[in-house]
Structure 1
Amino acid sequence: MRCTLEPLVVDDATVALLHAWVTHPRSVYWQLGEATPDDVRREYAEIDARPTHDAWLGRVDGEPLFLAETYDPADSPLKDLPELGAGDLGMHVLVAPPAPDAGRRPGLTRAVFAAVLEHCFAGTGVQRVVVEPDVRNEAIARLNKEAGFTVSRTIELDDKTAALSFLTRADWERARHQPPAPHLSPDLLERAQRRLVVKALGELCHERLLDPRPDGPDRWVLQAPTGSRYRFAARRLPLEHWHIDPDSLTREVDGEPAPLDVQELVLEHAEALGLREELTGVYLEELAATLAWTCWQLAHPGPSVEALLEASHAEVEAAVTEGHPGFVANRGRIGFSLADHEAFSPDAARPVRLVWLAARRHATHLSLGEGWAETDLPVLGEGPERELLHDRLRERGLHPDDYLLLPVHPWQWDAKVAVTFAPDVARQDLVVLGEGTTRYQAMQSIRTFADLDDPRRPQVKTALAIQNMGFVRGLSPAYMRETPAISDWVASIVEGDPELHGRGFEVLREVAAVGYTGDIYHRAAPGAPQRKMLAALWRESPATALRGGEGEDERIITLAALLHRDPTGASYCAALVRASGLTPRAWLRRLLDAYLRPVAHCLLAHDLAFMPHGENVLLVLRGQAPQRCVMKDLGEEVGVLSPSRPLPESAERARAEVDPDDRCLAVLTDVVDGVLRHLAALWETEGLLPVEQFWAEAAACLEQHALDHPELADAVRTIDLQRPTFRHSCLNRLQLRDARQMVDIADQASSLLYAGELVNPLAR
């Protein structure tokens, strides 16, 4: 895109354009939200009259799309600051808010910013550019940092608290000559490859797909059919968990040292991995994308574990880098460009404004949880954002009563809806209203957004048709229709159970869901992925589960965060244990009582199974120690593992047909092998507790529960969570079989793949 700047001419057309820009809700930091056109005219006439100030109209490919101001800081509110010097030039930039029906333009803001800086430094006397953005303006702070600005200090101006920042000509030159994707460098790739090859070897050995041979005490060698050889030091812990020393890993090809490469590892063992030729490219692309985003994370190191001890839930979510601990290709996000990743990924943690559609009410279904009304939901209920969206409808001659508001991921609108549902948009069955004003942040599940402006408001889960970790991340309107009712039923079970209530175990209710079914795909294409592209879900905010408010008595984090390590390799979990003042054993007992015990109780007492992996479980901390757990993702992933247990008709979809002897896997696979296996290894390596004692505590937790609940003796005996062995259900085998869709969501149990039996570390 070609960006140009020209002196701003204060005429009627320009004033009308600027007035629309500066009064838009997205331009709140420009501080002209209440300005009239005459106010705007006076403002820029005054700038035009000042010899030390200039205003510039910016065009992108000929279209007016941004405003820039340059000024002499010595003739401004900054004039008395001691940091100022000769050769300084002040700068302000405003990018035009997008029109409601405009498509996304990835990279626009960065291109504009770069053009304005080039314009500033075109003056030979300019040695530094000075900016003073409002400290609350996170978006411009990120842009400034990327461009090379350094924050000098915080200053108080008449109308704001500002971050005084400088960009020298030398730093600008360095930043502008960086490659387009600086994270894709040989040194970062080498680090990412080692990390991923270590994980691949550990998990593929755990799933018995690879079979290393002893090569000395605690040393192993893996020979590939192609002649490649891997040597490494590793300990085999319970549940056949391979703890590999990353620094010990080497690779040889034809007897010569060779670089580590996870894609080559997969190809070298393709037959053993069961990788079908026609799907090889799909899986290799997921690995390539996982490597790419791992490099990106390495190039953008997050905070230390000490800093995370006082961080908010959203801040911890943004810092967690490990992804799913079992899947090797766990960060594919196929469909996202680099600009999309930097705009929408949980790693980047950038504020996002959702795109809103108005969907014809007769072709759209809104389901509400018990006690909720349409007016209770953010945006759908009363408020300025809804009025703004309704005004946009009225401007088109359409009546808001004929439509339901539907939130859409910005990528989904641009990449899918605007094309795949073009006839619906053209018929005005779907009307694009543009971005809302609320700022959201993507959570680790990538398509769920937390409200940054009011963290207590419900989170929003959107359809997102990218390929990620074995699935296209769509949302089915049919599934969403029943989700609030299933959520209400699960919540009633949990709230009515004295054991769960006493432990503080809770669920986050999914309080509303909306789905559009007026498209041709719903009429004529059963099973088509296009039927999962236009739906959304509202879920209670985790902040509502806190007593006293986040940052006061309690904090909340995802359970997955316990496996996090910071850029220095320090363990977040170990830091929590040390900061709590408890012994590691006491801390672990609290965790098991908060997590393992309630999940096991739900299965034993109610035949109720969750998908309790680390991202779906929220851990409430007080004094850095576990207090209780909160479960989310109910409608799509909860299951009732009994053919006879009574269910309300509205929740019948949650009934899952499984072999009675496999009911134990809801805990033994999903909790013991899927979560605690990794945590036990971390505790061993961090010196918190030997792995045998870790598992003894887990077994004792179940035994104490059995003693406390003699009425469940039959269920304890028949489900038998402490059986000697259990079936070894394998995740990577599923993804290797078909990375496009690992399992049939409607019948997950029949899709699973097994590799014999695992010895149960909970057995006595």
Structure 2
Amino acid sequence: MTYTLEPLDLDAHAELLHGWVTHPRSVYWGMRGASVETVRKAYAEIAGDPHHDAWLGRLDGEPVFLAETYEPAHSELAGQYRVADGDVGMHVLVAPPAPGATPKHGLTSGVMRAVMSFIFADPRAHRVVVEPDERNAAIARKNAEVGFVEERRVQLSDKVARLSFCTRAAYERTAPEPPAHLTPETMAVAHRRLVAKAIAEFSHERILTPQPLPGGGFAVHGHRFQAHRYGLEHWVVDADSLARDDGGPVDAMAFVAGLAGTLGIPDKLVGTYLEEIAATLAGAAWKHHHERLDARALVHADFQAIEAAMTEGHPGFVANNGRIGFGLADHEAYAPEAGQPVRLVWLAVRKDESDFTAGEGVSEDAFYAAELGPETLDRFGTRLRGLGLDPADYRFLPAHPWQWEHKHAITFAPDIARRSIVPLGTGNDRYRAQQSIRTFFNTDRPDRHYVKTALAIQNMGFLRGLSPTYMRATPPINDWVADVVRGDDTLRACGFDVLRELASAGYTGDAYHRSGFVSAHQRMLAALWRESPLPRLAPGERLATMASLLHRDRSGRSLAAELVAASGLPADRWVATYLRAYVRLVVHCILRHDLAFMPHGENLILVLDGHVPTRVFMKDIGEEVAVMSTERPLPAAIERIRIDVSDDVKALALHTDVFDGFLRHLAGILDVDGVLPWSRFWTLVAECVAEHGADHPELRGRLALDRPEFHHSCLNRLQLRNTLQMVDLTDQAGSLIFAGTLVNPIAAR
């Protein structure tokens, strides 16, 4: 069950609200007999009150409750007790059941927790205040469930009320209901799917060697299963066929723990890797339980609905959804699959203790004016002046709410105390977390930029921080790459473009930077802004993360197969169109410009026209682009992106990052689903590469992209070697681990 809250829309909800507040069960709401217009007027007054808000609550999309939050200092309670900073008043009304409907067991308790979690998601909230009618014993019991303690009875204008308080700590101490997604049934599905993936990917990386069984199927490490085997040593393991030799339940934790030695995990990191496996299981169970849209519905869904529906995380990594540091409430509030609106926390940081780097055509003042708007800037300035500070001495940094609560307010406490960092509250715009988890899309103003924040959780082999020092070069790198891409006729013909990271900011005035010792603490307070793709769409076009092409829904349907069917095109024509938009541009960038991206599914945004991917946007440029040449001239400011590698390693920008890292998974899905045979798929890939060679004979054969074999670079081996930091970001090529070679699927075609 998923509870959500949204601002009350009187135009849409007045009739519904009227039915709720005038129902006999809502006697303590004080609106029995009120007309629709009276109810509308009452809530219009709330909408116009800057100290009072009304929220419509939904359960799995269905409206089921009303919540109000208010500032006690601006209410009748101000004269009844000493109001403290961080106090939030609350009213809750659960909708009466429809005539003849069966009441939902546990609904009121669930609503209470949803509202309390919603309030405490704001780091400024420290205590919730309620004042129910003393006769309402039922709500008093529900209040007590979530930690409220009655202080005394008070006389208000319309009732004698139970004045009650619940602190954040008291709420967190109350025993929650068992998480709805953590059931034997959902976890069994998660275990099977993860063990199937582990067998497939560890076998692909030659860590495991499944043995064929006489009667069909395969066996490895005490498990039997059915599977399809393809080129590139790709396995598609049937999760439903998995069975343990000893008859016990399929268990991903036991599977990995039993293989720790074979996998080569250092003893001191086995527990950490197992924790990432457990977190990946928990995330998979949550997604399975809460699936909102199946593959058929996703064909017609919007960009953010598709983003939230993704279940895999990464097609190659087994432990791909760790998020170590997030709790249950954090997952519900901030995970991309939860799809909840998030308001970022804004901090003012002293200009002389921070950096701001802007790309071409961007000035700092104009950037903030466009990104925040005059009202928010005025509010921030008033806050600074109220503390006796000059706004001209500060710039603004967005922060992830989790990061502010768990890191900034503690790890940078001395800096906050001396006013080098000043918390300003949340911004007005609502955002949605993207698959990269620390990047946010502006849902209120989609034309405004993505915001990427530092987030000190451990996820898929890295602590997800951002370095202010490292990011000084990010906008110049993006400007240079954008100029290269936009100045190339072939890339323009492909419709290819990049989403520039056009501004970055970071705080460097802390003791961690002054110490001279490198540490993760130097990557905790920074942000960057990336262009939105929405303003660049033509009529009829829509967006989807390329990762969606590998998505299967709860019943096993693949989105790729559904897109092909919905397009009305023959499968080979659909695939050829997609390959021209994707593979051709990667080949051209490598051969013409020595330019390598990290073109995996989450880093590309597809532009769909008639359900067909016709062009793409590349993102995450600053951290993951490389120029593979010692001779190509580069501006001094971006020299860090240059790497000196052999031609064999240059070719891996296509062979590993595209063929092995993404296309082998898509080809397997299309073959298993009967959409397009594996062999035909790779013939189309070969034709795409050959067509580029024919169009550019001066480049053909430069790196022998159709060579018989290429180095087998292994991702899981990197994470297994060091699950805390897979690679040295200053020498990513030097961190690679190879396991022999793979047969090139486009050789001799």
TM-score bracket relative to the smaller structure? 0.7 to 0.9
Matches within 5 A, 1:256-335: 256-335=246-325
- Whether 2:570 is the aligned partner of 1:583: answer yes
1:744 aligned partner? 728
Instruction: State which of 529, 543, 546 in structure 2 corresponds to 1:559.
Output: 546
8 Å CA contact retained: 2:86, 2:125? no
Q: Which amino acid aligns with 2:91?
A: A
3-state SS, counterpart of residue 336 of structure 2: coil
Distance 2:287 2:137 in 1: 31
- Whether 2:219 is the aligned partner of 1:250: answer no
Q: How many Å apart are 1:393 and its aligned residue? A: 1.4
Deviations 1:283-332 (A, max 9, x none): 01100111111111122122122222222111110111111000000000
8 Å CA contact retained: 2:336, 2:435? yes
1:502 aligned partner? 493
Q: How many Å apart are 1:36 and its aligned residue? A: 13
Q: Which amino acid aligns with 1:284?
A: L
1:220 aligned partner? 218
- Whether 2:717 is the aligned partner of 1:724: answer no
Instruction: State which of 413, 429, 452 in structure 2 corresponds to 1:422.
Output: 413
1:537 aligned partner? 528
1:568 aligned partner? 555
8 Å CA contact retained: 2:671, 2:678? yes
8 Å CA contact retained: 2:544, 2:606? yes
- Whether 2:597 is the aligned partner of 1:610: answer yes
Q: Which amino acid aligns with 1:188?
A: T
8 Å CA contact retained: 2:71, 2:87? no
Q: Which amino acid aligns with 1:627?
A: T
Q: How many Å apart are 1:383 and its aligned residue? A: 2.1
2:740 aligned partner? 756
Deviations 1:182-215 (A, max 9, x none): 2222121111100100000000000000011111
1:27 aligned partner? 53
Q: How many Å apart are 1:64 and its aligned residue? A: 4.6
Deviations 1:466-505 (A, max 9, x none): 0000000000111211100000000000000000011110
3-state SS, counterpart of residue 479 of structure 2: helix
8 Å CA contact retained: 2:343, 2:427? yes
Deviations 1:344-397 (A, max 9, x none): 000101000101110001111111111112213466554212222222212211
3-state SS, counterpart of residue 595 of structure 1: helix
1:140 aligned partner? none
Q: How many Å apart are 1:635 and its aligned residue? A: 0.4
Deviations 1:63-88 (A, max 9, x none): 85223277999xxxxxxx999999xx
1:361 aligned partner? 351
8 Å CA contact retained: 1:356, 1:436? yes
Distance 1:333 1:306 in 2: 29
Matches within 5 A, 1:438-453: 438-453=429-444
1:701 aligned partner? 688
Matches within 5 A, 1:657-676: 657-676=644-663
Q: 1:97 to 1:574 in 2, by over 3 A?
A: closer
8 Å CA contact retained: 2:629, 2:644? yes
Q: 1:120 to 1:233 in 2, by over 3 A?
A: farther
3-state SS, counterpart of residue 450 of structure 1: strand
Distance 1:72 1:445 in 2: 37
Distance 1:94 1:262 in 2: 35
Q: Which amino acid aligns with 2:306?
A: V
3-state SS, counterpart of residue 407 of structure 1: strand
Distance 1:283 1:755 in 2: 21
Deviations 1:652-706 (A, max 9, x none): 1111232232100011101000000000000001111110000010011000110
Q: Which amino acid aligns with 1:27?
A: D
Q: Which amino acid aligns with 2:709?
A: T
1:238 aligned partner? 231
Distance 1:58 1:194 in 2: 56
Distance 2:133 2:715 in 1: 49
Distance 1:59 1:190 in 2: 52
Distance 2:558 2:80 in 1: 50
Q: 517-526 vs 615-624, which deviates more?
A: 517-526
Deviations 1:587-612 (A, max 9, x none): 00000000011011100000000000
Q: Which amino acid aligns with 2:470?
A: Y
Instruction: State which of 88, 91, 95 in structure 2 corresponds to 1:68.
Output: 91
Matches within 5 A, 1:59-458: 64-68=87-91, 122=138, 179-216=177-214, 218-223=216-221, 229-252=222-245, 256-374=246-364, 375-377=366-368, 382-458=373-449
2:9 aligned partner? none
3-state SS, counterpart of residue 745 of structure 1: coil
1:650 aligned partner? 637
Q: Which amino acid aligns with 1:663?
A: K
- Whether 2:665 is the aligned partner of 1:678: answer yes
Distance 1:651 1:557 in 2: 30
Distance 1:486 1:631 in 2: 14
Q: 1:290 to 1:270 in 2, by over 3 A?
A: same
Q: Which amino acid aligns with 1:666?
A: A
8 Å CA contact retained: 2:546, 2:606? yes
Q: How many Å apart are 1:180 and its aligned residue? A: 3.1
Distance 1:732 1:702 in 2: 28
* TM, length-normalised to structure 2: 0.81
Deviations 1:531-554 (A, max 9, x none): 111110000012123123xxxx10
Matches within 5 A, 1:465-504: 465-504=456-495
Root-mean-square deviation (CA, aligned residues, Å) is: 3.8
2:628 aligned partner? 641
Q: 1:665 to 1:62 in 2, by over 3 A?
A: closer
Q: Which amino acid aligns with 1:631?
A: M
Instruction: State which of 489, 503, 526 in structure 2 corresponds to 1:512.
Output: 503
Distance 1:100 1:235 in 2: 46
Deviations 1:129-148 (A, max 9, x none): xxxxxxxxxxxxxxxxxxxx
Q: 1:29 to 1:238 in 2, by over 3 A?
A: same
Distance 2:82 2:240 in 1: 52
Q: 1:210 to 1:24 in 2, by over 3 A?
A: farther
Distance 1:682 1:61 in 2: 58
Q: 1:675 to 1:360 in 2, by over 3 A?
A: same
Distance 2:532 2:466 in 1: 19
Distance 2:276 2:620 in 1: 24
Distance 2:306 2:424 in 1: 32
3-state SS, counterpart of residue 636 of structure 1: helix
3-state SS, counterpart of residue 359 of structure 1: strand
Distance 2:122 2:545 in 1: 36
2:588 aligned partner? 601
3-state SS, counterpart of residue 66 of structure 1: strand
8 Å CA contact retained: 1:378, 1:457? no
Q: Which amino acid aligns with 1:366?
A: F
8 Å CA contact retained: 2:121, 2:333? no
Q: 1:617 to 1:119 in 2, by over 3 A?
A: farther
8 Å CA contact retained: 2:344, 2:426? yes
Distance 1:680 1:445 in 2: 24
5+ residue gaps, structure 1, are 1-6, 9-18, 46-54, 74-80, 127-175, 224-228
